[in-house]
Amino acid sequence: MNNPTNNPQSPALPAGMGSGFLKTLGITVLLVLVIMRWNDFISIFTNVLLWIYDLLGNGPHMFGVAIILFTILIRLVTWPLNAQQMKGAAAMQELQNDKEWQAIQKKYAKDREKLAQEQLRIQREKGINPFGSCLPTLIQFPIIIALYQSITRALASTPLDLLKLSRSIIFPFLDVSELIPLNSKFLWMNLGQPESVNVLGFALPTLAIIVALTTYVQSKLTLPPSTNPNDQSAAMGQSMAITMPLMLGWFALTFPSGLSVYFITSNLLGIIQYAAQGKANWRNLLPGRQKQQAQKK
């Protein structure tokens, strides 16, 4: 799948500076720019969110719908990044199952330095960008934080938030004085506060549970089977499939429920994206099936 012939490196670039390196550099520069202009970044998010809300007629429940549409928009914009992440993860997984790499791992099991050099060589030969799968994931973090901040800014729960909101309007066609206060009700939730449903006297955090479940399903579906017992990335993937649902579930429990709406929509879209590309590994959802699959391979 990934070899030097179908991943030609530009002859104009110095050795080791392939297109993967340039992509990594580009994403890193983009991340630095976002962090440097963080307030402007939040303002853009807030404006787009308010613009969608305005287009929807700013009635009851419409801010929740605006968050869902905004999430779809973000997913569309970051589609190439997600595709790259999936491609990078698949390439790394293919490497782990590669006989030559497994032989190298066995040969240099006690020489970590040599093993690292060989890993770099084989990755270069196969045209694999070692950051190809993790950098697009890193992009998601500023988006999640920006979305959280833009939701809280748009909902403006304190006088200072409201004043900041009035000053963060950069779209000239948005009349924020008419839009505020935003209607924070969506279905049974107040999007500006963490959600819970009263069941028999207990406050059941339904959204947090749904966030954890959908994150778990998405993580499991994207885990490819591995036959390599030394496969660190597979072990990491397994850990992430447990920690990410717990982490996002905790966020959903603590932060305004508007962020949970984003998590759930994003997870469902991710599942649909994997399924549409025929890469969803549905058998992974059954306990113990992943090991069996790997052994069969």
Which of these ranges, 94-102, 118-126, 233-241, 284-292, lies near another protein under the rule CB under 8 A? 233-241
Binding mask 146-185 for another protein (x = CB under 8 A): --x--------xxxxxxx--x----------xx-xx----
Least gap, CB of 177 to another protein (angstroms):
4
Among 79, 188, 250, 282, interactor with another protein by CB under 8 A: 250
Least gap, CB of 10 to another protein (angstroms):
37
Nearest to 228 by CA among 90, 101, 114: 101
Contacts of 139 by beta carbon, 8 Å cutoff, 6+ apart: 27, 30, 31, 78, 81
Residue for token pair 């012939």:
5
Could you tell me the two tokens for 166?
């009035």
Least gap, CB of 152 to another protein (angstroms):
9
57 touches another protein by CB under 8 A: no
> Up-side HSE of residue 171: CA atoms within 13 Å toward CB?
16
Least gap, CB of 95 to another protein (angstroms):
21
Identity of the residue, 157 or 206, whose beta carbon is nearer to another protein in the bound complex:
157
Which of these ranges, 44-52, 132-140, 220-228, 244-252, lies near another protein under the rule CB under 8 A? 244-252
Contacts of 148 by beta carbon, 8 Å cutoff, 6+ apart: 255, 256, 259
Among 29, 235, 272, 285, interactor with another protein by CB under 8 A: 235
> What are the residues binding another protein (CB under 8 A)?
148, 157-163, 166, 177-178, 180-181, 235-236, 238-239, 242-244, 246-247, 250-251, 254-255
